Structure 1
Amino acid sequence: MNPQLLIVLVLLAAAIAMFALGRPRMDVVAVLMIVALPLTGVLTVPETLSGFADPNVVLIGALFVVGEALSRTGVTYRLGDWLSRTAGTSSARLIVLLMVCVALLGAVMSSTGVVAIFIPVVLSIAKRLGVSPRQLMMPLSFAALISGMLTLIATAPNLVVDAELRRLGHDGFGFFTITPFGLAVLVLGIGYMLLARRFLAGDDDGAVLATDRSTFPALIEKYGLAERERRLKVGRRSPLVGLPLDDRTVRRDFGLRVLAVERGRWGQKTLTLGTDPGGFRIRAGDVLLADLAGHAGGAGSAAGRLGVAELPLGEGFFVETSRELGLAEIILPPSSAALGRTVAELRMHDDHEVDVIGIRHGNDLVSRAVSHERLRLGDTLLVVGSWDAIRRLGAPGGDFIALELPVEAEERVAAASRAPLALLSVALMIALMVTGLVPNFVAALIACLLLGLFRCIDLGAAYRAIHWPTLLLIVGMLPFAVALEKTGGIDLAASALVSWLGGAAPALILAGLFAVTALIGMFVSNTATAVLMAPIAISIAGQLGASPLPFAMVVALAASAAFVTPVSSPVNTLVLDPGRYRFGDFVKVGAPFAVIVGLVAVFLVPVILPIHP
């Protein structure tokens, strides 16, 4: 072993040790390696910084933006809503649908982001079905990991392995090369979780994580909204047809306060808030969410005078629109200029872009029209408007203090009406990648530009969506592959593995490669694991005179098989607390499934990707 290789191995061991200990952060470790490698003299500065010019780093960053746009336009949340409706009361059906939805969504966006989005959805469904979150959270994380096996762009290790193949002059993976293996694993994973869920059952069935935060249903009941607010469908002969949404005659002449308007568009419902009309005019067929507290005759009289039909409201409407329509409680501090004034005098609609739809004087609910109610110290007001307007209203130093926002505020959708455009952009990206008309990173950047053009995401949100620590980790670890190659480390490791397995059958060599990769991935980032193992796998193929594709594919599959510990992947860590899991729960359920995935890799990969083509 030459001295330069020894230095590289010492640095690599130090990086792995710091990864395993979790100190310092992984991105900091990557920066330390970027600093250390050129000081050893093994790599030049351009070689050390070559990761910044890697197209896959740009691609991964762009995919973070695409995933955020899908969230901001509500695509992911609508999928969760559909899941809740379709699952009904069957927990088995829920597990099947949950794993399919998460896997398919994770195939085109960050699996960590998908899990973060679905955790509150799953908790809500668990409460409704009366099942323990323990039986649902692990299927959620396993499906997110399996999603990395469905497309080339689903996870960073796939891209790292593909890049290493191309760097060494081999044909890389196609967009769907990994898909057959992922589909097989997904089917097995669903069946496995349907059986394994019994091992996750506990004494807390039907319990969910408690929260002190308010919810929409609680606020609706507290302020009696179901008795006052109505949904009114506008008829063809209604005098409201053609009126601007902000027309004051609607409120003055009819005593009707329009809070929002539902309208069918492109096969889906869109919601326009009364506080943000933007030139919106009422049409026949629109459904108005209206406050009738100021209408003397109530809903029946309004229907006759306005040519509208009353539709059911209940708490469901507010819950279904909670990602666009915000509800929140505010209080008045002693220094507030609003004390002693009426709601009408405050001009909340015009000056703050919210409407006051409920007032409580201490424990007493105001059931009459609130517009002429004088405010006093200790009052709590319920306001409705966009989430951004509600946050501005409660800004420090103002006349109002916003109480803690309800849990629904975490699921707000900033650009719901642009969901079809977001889907169109993602479909174009996938089409470009599948056909190979442009490089993958160019296709992703085109999608990002379209998403910005269609206002599915703004520039600030795009920059915030990029997970910079992940990019730094990749950039910092990629030079190790070059360093190990230059110093002979890759050939040495490949020779050692081949020598250890002797003249074993190719299936046994693939099994050993999978086991080593999966073992390292239990303690080290799967991206870093792929960086280390991909060149070794390709070198083994070269020594055996075999095609590098099956060996590289086994590494890609093993890198995503992080089922065994809660620290193997961020998606496992995310579900640890909501699922009330212990370390042993992942070992007990995850280890057998990792073996199943290994068997799929060992026996199915050579069938689809022949070792000796």
Structure 2
Amino acid sequence: MNPELALVLLMLAISMSLFIRGRPRMDVVALLVIIGLPLTGIITLQQSIAGFSNQAVLLIASLFIIGHGLVRTGIAYQMGDLIVKHAATSEIRLLVFLMASVALLSSIMSSTGVVAIFIPIVLTIAKRMQSSPSHLMMPLSFAGLIGGTLTLVATPPNMVVSAELARSGIDGFSFFSFTPIGLVILTLGIIYMLFARRWLGGSKPAAPAGERDTLSDLADAYGLTVRERRLLVLADSPLVNRPLNELELRQQYGINVIAIEHPRKFRRVLEMATKHSRIRAGDTLLIDLASPAIALAGAYEELGLEPRPLPISYYRIYAQQMGLAEVALPPESALPGKTIQELNFRSRYRLNVVGLRRQGKALPGLLVDEPLKSADTLLVAGTWEDINQLYGQTRDFMLFNLPAEIDEVAPAKDKAPFALLSLGIMVILMVSGLVPNLMAALIGCLLMGVFGCITMDSAYKSIHWSSLLLIIGMLPFALALEETGGIDLAVSVLLDSFGNAGPRTLLAVLFAATALIGMFISNTATAVLMAPVAIATAQAVDASPYPFAMTVALAASAAFMAPVSSPVNTLVLDPGGYKFTDFMRIGIPFTLLVLVVTVLLVPLLFPL
């Protein structure tokens, strides 16, 4: 092993350990790699930053926007409601419809976002049927992962592997190259889950309930209704003409201003509170108390405030203008350990944190100094537009539960047919090959904008920049390993150990290695590292690179074995009442089943 390769492997090991540790953030590690590798002299700065112009990276960014258009127009939620309407009377029929629908949606948009949308829908169905959520939550996460095997654009690893083929001077995969194998895996996954759900924990049925959660349901679940107040600002109030960020009402009095009613000649105008909001005499503050037991009679007098009647929750009164949503902390979030006060949600996202749920139970009041823990769920309040802007912010948090009222106030609900048209045109262009895939995706984004399905601001915010930086930062590693002989070393070890056993054995070993590495680091990063190894192995045994590349792509999506293997698994961990061992008990056999399907079918569809 030469010194340059040893240095690259050391940097790779350090990077992987940081990924596993979760500190610092994955995108920060990626930036350190982009800076660090050129300093070693192994690759140039131009080679290190080449990922910023990589077609796969730009294609992934475009697909984030396409997925955002489907959410912003309400299409994703409408599909969930169709499942509730047509399949919620039988658990077996429900499981089939649910897994098929989630996999289909995940084939064209982020599986993490799809699963987050469907979790509250599934919980509602479980309550209605008085069955255990555990019977449906793991099938939900597995379907999201299986969706990554259905199309080229279903998941970043597919596009990374295809791009690596193109970089090697070989035509990449087509849009439906994955589909035949993905459909087999989906079918087997549905059959497997019909039997495996009996072995899942959480036998206690959910309490009966009606439709999807409403604003009132969320307010009651977090105890907001006993903490809401309406306060008139008197003329002699010391708050008059001062911005909220100067008043420190939350810190000193436990008062969190959610919105301000401004009096007008014939009506009252609602303004969501921000740090720059100025309070004027005659305004009415809609506030949330830190605790329902807080005694504020003296504080009201000191602040020049007078209580006003509030017959029903102000979230119901202003349901068309402001709403509530639950926000979950995904496994890669950097927020655990920070307090609600330190999040600066109001200044960063124009939203107020009004509740905290831990292990399925809402904490009493709003404990602003309580350190957050992994898998906590926050309740945020704000305008529907600002709530919708959170979609795609999956690095530190993600939308987890949106109330039923979102269907009536989706920012572009009337543009749903145009969103479907834009999506259809993009898919037709990709399938036909009339234009490159990136061009087709950019045309789809442009059509979404022309038809008003998205705005420029929402499009930029929907892109998961940290995921893109992770890919961009890992690409130089693949190049550095190639330059220093690391790829050749990996191939020689693989061939020395398993070369005489035949190409199907090599495929099985590649699948197992990729799936195991993907348990600890991002499946995208795994694909970046393993794709060059797969292609070089194929060239070394004088075989077609397609079956080897396809095997790596499929294995990258086979993150079924642990709740930390993929964000979608972590999301269903608490709602399903699962333990770590539940995923191992159900996921390991299914991963082995996918391995067998891959080794048998891939060489048939892509001859060796």
> 1:379 deviation in Å?
2.7
> 1:114 deviation in Å?
0.5
Identical amino acids, percent of aligned pairs: 53
Does residue 431 (structure 1) correspond to residue 362 (structure 2)? The answer is: no
Does residue 500 (structure 1) correspond to residue 398 (structure 2)? The answer is: no
The one-character-per-residue Cα deviations of 1:216-259 (angstroms, maximum 9, x if unpaired) are 57999xxxxxxxxxxxxxxxxxxxxxxxxxxxxxxxxxxxxxxx
Residues 31-180 of structure 1 mapped to structure 2, 5 A cutoff? 31-180=31-180
Q: 2:518 corresponds to which residue?
A: 521
Q: 1:237 corresponds to which residue?
A: none
> 1:75 deviation in Å?
0.3
> 1:447 deviation in Å?
1.1
**TM-score normalised by length of structure 2:** 0.73
Cα RMSD for the two superposed structures:
3.2
> 1:446 deviation in Å?
1.1
C-alpha change, 1:596 and 1:389, in structure 2 (3 Å) is closer
**TM-score normalised by length of structure 1:** 0.72
> 1:29 deviation in Å?
1.2
Does residue 542 (structure 1) correspond to residue 539 (structure 2)? The answer is: yes
C-alpha change, 1:351 and 1:404, in structure 2 (3 Å) is closer
C-alpha change, 1:385 and 1:452, in structure 2 (3 Å) is farther
User: 1:380 is paired with a residue of what secondary structure?
Assistant: coil
The one-character-per-residue Cα deviations of 1:28-84 (angstroms, maximum 9, x if unpaired) are 111111111011110000000011010111111111111111001000000000000
The one-character-per-residue Cα deviations of 1:89-122 (angstroms, maximum 9, x if unpaired) are 2111111000000000111111111011111111
C-alpha change, 1:151 and 1:335, in structure 2 (3 Å) is same
Q: 2:231 corresponds to which residue?
A: 333
The question of whether the paired residues in 1 share the 8 Å contact of 2:351 and 2:381 is answered with: no
User: 1:446 is paired with a residue of what secondary structure?
Assistant: helix
Selected match of 2:441 from 440, 444, 461 = 444
Q: 2:459 corresponds to which residue?
A: 462
C-alpha change, 1:395 and 1:445, in structure 2 (3 Å) is closer
Q: 2:469 corresponds to which residue?
A: 472
> 1:485 deviation in Å?
0.9
Selected match of 1:379 from 299, 303, 310 = 310
C-alpha change, 1:349 and 1:33, in structure 2 (3 Å) is same
C-alpha change, 1:349 and 1:524, in structure 2 (3 Å) is same
> 1:26 deviation in Å?
1.2
Q: For 1:111 and 1:453, how far apart are their aligned partners in 2?
A: 26
Q: 1:533 corresponds to which residue?
A: 530
Q: 2:399 corresponds to which residue?
A: none
C-alpha change, 1:512 and 1:17, in structure 2 (3 Å) is same
Unaligned residue ranges in structure 2 (runs of 5+): 236-260, 273-305, 325-345, 353-378, 383-401
Q: For 2:485 and 2:217, how far apart are their aligned partners in 1?
A: 64
> 1:205 deviation in Å?
1.9
> 1:522 deviation in Å?
0.8
Q: For 1:65 and 1:73, how far apart are their aligned partners in 2?
A: 12
Letter in 2 for 1:185: I
Does residue 574 (structure 1) correspond to residue 571 (structure 2)? The answer is: yes
User: 1:333 is paired with a residue of what secondary structure?
Assistant: strand
Does residue 554 (structure 1) correspond to residue 485 (structure 2)? The answer is: no
C-alpha change, 1:466 and 1:388, in structure 2 (3 Å) is farther
The one-character-per-residue Cα deviations of 1:16-37 (angstroms, maximum 9, x if unpaired) are 1111222222111111111110
C-alpha change, 1:403 and 1:177, in structure 2 (3 Å) is closer
Q: For 1:60 and 1:403, how far apart are their aligned partners in 2?
A: 29
User: 2:149 is paired with a residue of what secondary structure?
Assistant: coil
C-alpha change, 1:498 and 1:348, in structure 2 (3 Å) is farther
Letter in 1 for 2:38: P
> 1:409 deviation in Å?
5.7
Letter in 1 for 2:479: V
C-alpha change, 1:384 and 1:485, in structure 2 (3 Å) is same
The one-character-per-residue Cα deviations of 1:375-402 (angstroms, maximum 9, x if unpaired) are 972433555566446799x999xxxxx9
C-alpha change, 1:84 and 1:34, in structure 2 (3 Å) is same
Quick check: 116-125 or 146-155, which moved more? 116-125
User: 2:311 is paired with a residue of what secondary structure?
Assistant: strand
Letter in 2 for 1:476: G
Q: 1:591 corresponds to which residue?
A: 588
The question of whether the paired residues in 2 share the 8 Å contact of 1:330 and 1:403 is answered with: no
C-alpha change, 1:46 and 1:31, in structure 2 (3 Å) is same
C-alpha change, 1:478 and 1:445, in structure 2 (3 Å) is same
Q: For 2:123 and 2:144, how far apart are their aligned partners in 1?
A: 17
Greater C-alpha Rg: 1
The question of whether the paired residues in 1 share the 8 Å contact of 2:524 and 2:556 is answered with: yes
